[in-house]
Amino acid sequence: MIVSDSAQARVFLIYVLVGIGCIMLSDCFFVLRKYFGKGKWHTNLIDAIYFLIAFLLVLYAGVRFNLGAFRYYQLMGLLMGMAIQKLMLSAVCRTVFDVMFVFTVRCTACVAGFLWKGAAFVLGLFFQTTDFVENKTLHFCKKVKKRATKVKLKKQKGQKTVKKRLKMI
């Protein structure tokens, strides 16, 4: 298939952007690895997820913008975009992602704490009233049990006495 020069230039620029996106994704995963990658398997898992997402990004760009054909100028555009991002913008992106991650974690912790306090307050109201009802119910059962021990009932065939039934409570 013959592709015009303007279409080739468009695909080249798209692959430059895909290369920049891959290294930005790498910077994002670097920040995640900084906080979560304490062990070897954490690092391997994060790297595997990164390579899967980057592969799917490059594959999608190839299928979407060049009908699945892969030519030398696409590889050059991908490498050029990666070099531009890594040499010029990588340090800035890592700092920005680090600040965004810390801010997101702090906001999430603040919202979760606020929701937990509200839920604890509501549940506290509910359980305080149920404790009152439970205490009154137990007090009533104890009174009934005392009275039942005083009354002597005949044992019926195949059934437990009231005393045994109350012990099971």
In this structure, which amino acid lies at residue 165? R
Q: Give the residue extent of every domain in the chain.
A: 5-121, 126-168
The token duo for 160 is 């437990």
pLDDT of residue 168: 58
User: Position 109: which residue type?
Assistant: A
Q: Which two tokens stand for residue 123?
A: 């549940």
Give Cβ neighbours of residue 135 (< 8 Å, ≥ 6 apart).
none
Structure confidence at residue 43 as a pLDDT band (50, 70, 90): confident
115-134 per-position pLDDT tens digit:
877 777 777 777 666 666 66
pLDDT exceeding 90 applies to what percent of the chain? Answer: 25
Distances (CA, A) of 167 to 138, 146, 149, 156, 160: 13, 11, 11, 17, 11
CA nearest to 23, candidates 82, 76, 65: 82
Q: What pLDDT, on a 0 to 100 scale, did the predictor assign at position 69?
A: 79
Residue 110 pLDDT > 80: yes
For 46, 70, 97, 115, 166, the CA distances from 35, given in Å and listed in that order, are 11, 37, 12, 25, 57
CA distance linking residue 99 with residue 105, whole number of Å: 10
- Dump pLDDT digits (tens) for 82-106: 999 999 988 899 999 999 988 988 8
For residue range 132-147, list pLDDT tens digits in order: 666 777 777 777 666 6
3 state DSSP class of 158? coil
